[in-house]
Amino acid sequence: MKRYSLGVIGCGNMAKAILRALNSETVIYLMKQNGIRISLSVSDTDAEKFIDLNCREITTYTDNALLVEASDIVLLAVKPQAAQAALNGIDFSGKLVMSIMAGVTLKRLKSLMTTPADRLVRIMPNLNARYGCSVNAYCGEGLNDSDEEVVLNILGAFGRAYKVDECFMNSITGISGSGPAFAFMFIDAFIQKAISCGFKADVSKELVLDTIYGCLENVRNYEGNIGELIDSVCSKGGTTIEGVNHLKANNFEDLVKQAITKSEKRSEELEKDI
């Protein structure tokens, strides 16, 4: 059994979601089957953030240096703007350092450390980590086979891991990092329309979610082009084609792509600003 101590710097919403996932009985069991056991700790200067963590066997610190000293693996979950202050003066040598800080490149990450680690992982998760469904794009530097194994197990605890070249991280930020907000807006528009038609709010939500769920299953299992699925719902002179033509006339597809591009560009700006 390979044993690791994982320390998380920062106890915000994403950090809590990750810690809860890693502390779940299911994940602990699955990791054991893979020959891995991880002990958990978290640090934050605001001790009140630990109150709603609701996880047993997680050690808490208010001193980042003490947490790093006690950890084999360190996950950086602070805001990028607070990174310098959070990491200043800490010795990361010999540690495997993982970061979910948006816009912080591997090169920049190393420069933020007084005594840098030589094994680094940059991750772009998303909000769906709350339910173990995060898209976790990652890239690394200096990792050996054991490092890759434990990284995949950690990322697999709260979603699915996708290894990418670092040059794609800004695009990933726009697509899967920011993507949930765009999807939520689309779903909410459906729900609000159903409510305006006279359906109760709870019925509207279930009606729309069942529709979306069925569409996801259709796309996941269909081997052809999604455009063919769209055409299969539309009949000439029917009801659906009227709505589809309206979306096309108002550049629906371009608008979605432009929203993703805006998020991608902002990620690029953060890289320069941090």
- Residue 270 pLDDT > 90, yes or no? no
Beta strands 134-141; 119-124: pairing state: antiparallel
Domain limit, last residue, from 149, 176, 203: 176
Q: What is the pLDDT of residues 148-191, one digit of tens each?
A: 999 999 999 999 999 999 999 999 999 999 999 999 999 999 99
Q: Hey, what are 58's tokens? A: 């997680």
Quote the mean pLDDT of the chain: 94
Q: Where a domain ends, among 122, 145, 176?
A: 176
Residue 95 CB neighbour total at 10 angstroms: 22
Residues 130 and 85 in one domain: yes
AA identity, residue 88: N
Q: What is the pLDDT of residues 194-206, one digit of tens each?
A: 999 999 999 999 9
Q: What integer pLDDT is reported at residue 207 of this predicted model?
A: 97
Q: Are residues 85 and 149 in the same domain?
A: yes
Closest Cα to residue 133, out of 170, 180, 175, 171?
180
Together in a domain, 88 and 123:
yes
Instruction: State whether 122 and 153 are in the same domain.
Output: yes
- Same domain for 170 and 184, yes or no, is no
In this structure, the answer to whether residues 187 and 135 fall within a common structural domain is no
Through-space distance between the first and last CA atoms of the chain, rounded to whole angstroms: 39
Q: How confident is the model over 116-130, as pLDDT tens digits?
A: 999 999 999 999 998
User: What's the token pair of residue 105?
Assistant: 């490149």
Q: Which domain holds residue 218?
A: 179-271
- Domain of 65: which CATH number? 3.40.50.720
Give the neighbor-by-neighbor strand order of the sheet with 134-141: 58-61, 36-43, 2-9, 73-76, 96-99, 119-124, 134-141, 159-163
65 with 156, same domain: the answer is yes
Domain count for the chain, please give it.
2
**What is each CA distance from 170 to 63, 96, 122, 124, 142, in whole angstroms?**
31, 23, 12, 9, 21
Domain end marker among 176, 197, 215: 176
Q: 211 is written with which tokens?
A: 């529709």
